[in-house]
Amino acid sequence: MLSIAIPLYNKRPFIEKTIQSCVHTCTLHSIEHEIIIANNASTDATSEELDTLAALHQNCRVLHLPHTISLPDNWLFALNNCKGTYLKLLLADDLMPAHDPNKAIALIKNSKADYVVGMTEPIFEVKGFETNYFEYANTFRKKLNTDLSAAQKAEIISEHIARSSNPFGDIGALMFHRSCLTTLNLGVKAGLPAFTTFPDLDIYLTLFANHSGAYLDEIVSRFVFNDVSPAVRRNTESDSKLHGLYAEYEATMPLHFITAFKLKSLTEHLSQEQKRFFFQNIQDHTAALLGCHDQLKIHSSHASRPQHHMASPWSPSTFIQRFVKYMLG
């Protein structure tokens, strides 16, 4: 069975289309499925809308949380309430295209892959806003295959994490075997928050480091940019309103949440020498994470390290250090 987990908070205007897209795709391809919705104590009319939709779709189950928990914890809560062998996360304002999920399931069944990542088609509902981010993410995903060694994984991620705060892209393009839940739950079992970075990046990094993945050359996700999307708001709203957006993030994130999207802007003022130092650290710590430091070919090893550099809690090196500390427990 395929379980589709939808964690949400105040998504009443979007959730009906999202659920309908899941039902349509699974019915079209005769997929045994369930839709698990974790309602994070929404304060709008989302709860009533979900109860109405659940009554219409027998495979849809709604879990109403009595109090709002952190966004990452709600993602993991939704996943852990799934009963299927194959799991998929979908955000409440994104859509599941009419592709055949059996193709991803077959890849997991018949190969060494524990997870499969396909392509994402962006949908721009806001006029004047466009980004080529998913062109980059879809290209990056093509590097995923079950034959990657630990050294190759380290080299791939160390090269691309310096270019993008999340080279993997949206979580909707991912399907994984439920055995991966054991790995995703390690932080909670160690008394840590569900995830310590953006949850989509953290899930991808965790699976990438600990499991074998495969690429499916087919559109499996439709990521919708609407007027409430953080990516849109960061580019269209005034500084004063953006402050409110960041406050919303902080309200639903662990105290030590790392805002990965700030990495680029916070390092743009650094000298080339300082940037090389940080990128070197990214490679060093990623290699240490994967236990293959001696095997990893460091691209910038010829660059001399400065004796003094700018220490910042938002620096790429600190970002990777915290991730490594989390991964290693």
Burial 190-229 (b: 16+ CB within 10 A, else e): eeebbbbbbbbbbbbbbbbbbbbbbbbeeebbbbbbbeeb
C-alpha to C-alpha distance for 283 and 299, rounded to whole angstroms: 9
The pLDDT of residue 293 is 36
- Per-residue tokens: 130: 């466009």
DSSP structure class, residue 168: T
pLDDT digits 0-9 by tens, 217-247: 999 999 998 877 766 666 666 555 545 555 5
Question: Is 311 in the same domain as 224?
Answer: no
Per the CB < 8 A criterion, the answer to whether 187 and 164 are in contact is no
pLDDT digits 0-9 by tens, 127-140: 878 888 899 999 99
Strand boundaries in the chain, DSSP class E: 2-8, 33-39, 60-64, 86-89, 115-124, 174-177, 213-225
Residue 240 belongs to some domain of the structure: no
Neighbouring C-beta atoms of residue 45, cutoff 10 Å:
11
Question: Is 18 in the same domain as 84?
Answer: yes
| CA dihedral sign of residues 202, 206, 208, 213 | negative
Question: Is 171 in the same domain as 308?
Answer: no
Residue 212 belongs to some domain of the structure: yes
Domain boundaries, position 30: 2-232
- Going by pLDDT thresholds of 50, 70 and 90, the confidence category of residue 116 is very high
pTM of the entire structure?
A: 0.75
Structural domain count of the chain: 2
- Going by pLDDT thresholds of 50, 70 and 90, the confidence category of residue 196 is low
Tell whether the model's pLDDT for residue 273 goes beyond 60.
yes
Question: Is 323 in the same domain as 220?
Answer: no
pLDDT digits 0-9 by tens, 91-100: 999 999 999 9
Query: Where residue 40 sits, what CATH number does that domain have?
Result: 3.90.550.10
